[in-house]
Amino acid sequence: MTEAASRVAARIGLEDVDIQRLGMAAMRFISAIEQGEHEILWSAASSTMRNAMPKESFLDQLMRRHRDLGRGTARRWAAVRVDQPAHRTRWQIGTYAVLEFSVKFGAMGLPHRETVTLRREEEGVWRLAGYAVKVD
């Protein structure tokens, strides 16, 4: 990241973030995951994600998770947090948005928490930086 880009990233506040667009982006990523468009997700992933794991591991993890869980139902946006962590051991310094969804998976419709993490990269583009699902 250039020095100028670093200064801009340091000045981004919540008022500079379009929360609605973040939610729509997160939903597009979730939709791509559920439709098995994992290759597309890899190309849309942030450099943080691509540096954190090999492509094959990323693809395998997504395929296994949704093969086991299936499609989500009754998905509702539960929370959003925008953060600029100064120190993270496995993530680059930058601006991150963590979006949480309440969703039901499986034949019994068990409640889960689905988390999509986006990272703001060059030119203001938000890219996929993380995805997780856990039982609520």
Q: Is 69 exposed, middle or buried (0-12, 13-18, 19+ CB in 10 A)?
A: middle
The pLDDT score that the predictor gives to residue 69 is 83
Supply the pTM of this predicted model: 0.81
The pLDDT score that the predictor gives to residue 65 is 79
Total domains in the fold of the chain: 1
The pLDDT score that the predictor gives to residue 14 is 55
Domain CATH for 37: 3.10.450.50
The pLDDT score that the predictor gives to residue 87 is 66
The pLDDT score that the predictor gives to residue 83 is 82
The domain in which residue 77 lies consists of: 3-135
Provide the 3-class DSSP secondary structure of residue 56.
helix
The pLDDT score that the predictor gives to residue 118 is 93
- Could you tell me the maximum CA-CA distance found in the chain, to the nearest angstrom? 51
Mean pLDDT, contiguous 10-residue spans, the chain (136 residues): 47 68 91 88 88 90 82 91 73 86 88 93 87 89
Q: What share of the chain is helix, strand, coil (3-state, %, to 5)?
A: 45, 30, 25
Instruction: Give the whole-angstrom CA distance, residue 62 versus residue 132.
Output: 9
Provide the 3-class DSSP secondary structure of residue 38.
helix
